Amino acid sequence: MSYVVKEIFYTLQGEGRNAGRPAVFCRFSGCNLWTGREVDRAKAICQFCDTDFVGVGSDGGRFESPDALADAVLARWPGVRYGRADGGRPLVVCTGGEPLLQLDVAAIDALHARGFQVAVETNGTRHAPAGIDHLCVSPKAGAEWVQRHGSELKVVWPQAGLDLDMLEQADFTYRYLQPMDGPLQARHIAQCIEQCLARPAWRLSLQTHKVTGIR
Ligand code: SF4
């Protein structure tokens, strides 16, 4: 198996359960819900994407083996080594695009072998491989939703066609509503707050990387 990766970089996770936690982001190229080209956005299943996942960036690459991919991720983690599994363990966030088009058990094993906890951010259209330590699923209206259990359900809100009663039935440890970005963001934040107050099963997730200006 080879892997095509847009970019690999060290940052703080911006959103959801691990917000604020240092992590290596491994952004896989490609998505099954949009080509990533603006000319195709209006006819895409997912039309609100804010991420460039097309091709291979200057800090991405094509990796011919799980070990090559995991070595590239490890190279981005600062030289500190932690001996305790108390939250100081290195974290990699596999994202995209849609990471589950490429991420497999062999890559997860190779990342584990280098000491990483493996987090994944997926749109839920593919079943997740075994071994993921933190699985965040963000279903999209109009798309198939097959991965209905995991660590974190993160719903970009509002999305016409998604129903919170239905979403709440799925088996997740944490549930987040994250305001959709764009010109109506202030209204969307208010709507998310209103829903979280009315439905205590949900928490508010803000995109702190946009507030702080970090990558
Ligand atoms: S599913 Fe995710 S990566 Fe794909 S187009 Fe939508 S927001 Fe972007």
Cβ count near 110 (within 10 Å): 21
126 touches 146 (CB < 8 A): yes
Whether 116 is a known active-site residue: answer: no
Cβ burial 119-136 (10 Å sphere, 16+ → b, else e): bbbbbbbbebeeebbbbb
- Please check the confidence at residue 186 and state whether its pLDDT lies above 70: yes
pLDDT-based confidence at 211, cuts 50/70/90? confident
* Residue whose C-alpha is closest to residue 171's, from 198, 152, 196: 152
Residue 160, φ and ψ in degrees, nearest 5: -60, 130
**26, 31, 103, 157, best to mutate for ligand 1 pocket (most atoms within 8 Å of CB):** 31
Whether 53 is a known active-site residue: answer: no
pLDDT in tens, 52-88: 999 999 999 999 999 999 999 999 998 655 544 445 7
Ligand 1 atom at shortest distance from the alpha carbon of 32: 4
Residue of 15, 28, 49, 196 marked catalytic: 49
pLDDT (mean) for 91-101 = 97
pLDDT in tens, 111-155: 999 999 999 999 999 999 999 999 999 999 999 999 999 999 999
Ligand 1 atom at shortest distance from the alpha carbon of 156: 7
Q: Which helix (H) or strand (E) holds 193?
A: helix 185-198
How much is the pLDDT for 80? 58
Q: How far apart are CA 68 and CA 88, in angstroms?
A: 24
* Residue whose C-alpha is closest to residue 118's, from 31, 18, 14, 2: 18
| 3-class SS of residue 113 | helix
Residues with C-beta less than 6 Å from any ligand 1 atom: 31, 33-34, 46, 49, 51, 53, 96-98, 123, 140
Tokens of 109: 């094993």
Residue of 7, 15, 28, 31 marked catalytic: 31
Beta bridge partners of 63: 3
pTM score, whole prediction:
0.95
Residue 93, φ and ψ in degrees, nearest 5: -105, 110
Q: How far apart are CA 196 and CA 193, in angstroms?
A: 5
